[in-house]
Amino acid sequence: MNRSAHARIEDRLGPLEPPYKSRGEAQVGRLLDRYGLPFFYEQPTLVYDRGKHRIWRPDFTLPTYNGLIIEYAGMPDPPECAVGIRHKKRVYQANGIPALFVDPSDIRRSGWPEQLAERVYRAGQQACKPPSYSAPPTGRYR
């Protein structure tokens, strides 16, 4: 066998993939590909944060799941990173953007691809639900 037949999958797929910033992002991107979930990598997204409109570049945006965002939080433990993750979650929620956060512990579990695909599916289903409607109170309006 020639040398290229023994190349790691990451080395063979590299030229075909977006320029992921981490191995964890690459794993999530490959999982999305494997399950046939179209996505944009680091698509500019407008958010309102701290009194200003800003452009963020979330790791993955799934257009077929109502714009569900998947963020890979590669270092969730250092306090400053945990604060940043909580802030991002609040901003996405305040902007009505559905978001799912994935960290290294998620992709180390046995059976993680299926588990993560299920989380994406559930989050996407929640994102696609119409807003709940409550009827106005009965009685006369003036």
**54 inside domain:** yes
Give CA separation, 2 vs 6, 56, 64, 76, in Å: 7, 44, 41, 41
pLDDT at 131: 53
pLDDT at 135: 47
Beta bridge partners of 40: 61
pTM: 0.75
Strands, E assignment, 5-137: 40-41, 45-49, 52-56, 60-62, 68-72, 99-102
pLDDT at 142: 43
Domain count, the chain: 1
**133 inside domain:** no
The residue assigned the tokens 């020639």 is 2
**134 inside domain:** no
**142 inside domain:** no
**4 inside domain:** no
**100 inside domain:** yes
Instruction: Give the CATH number of the domain where residue 84 resides.
Output: 3.40.960.10
pLDDT at 62: 95
> What is the domain extent for residue 104?
22-128
Residues of the chain with pLDDT under 50: 1, 134-136, 139, 141-142
**68 inside domain:** yes
pLDDT at 9: 59
pLDDT at 141: 43
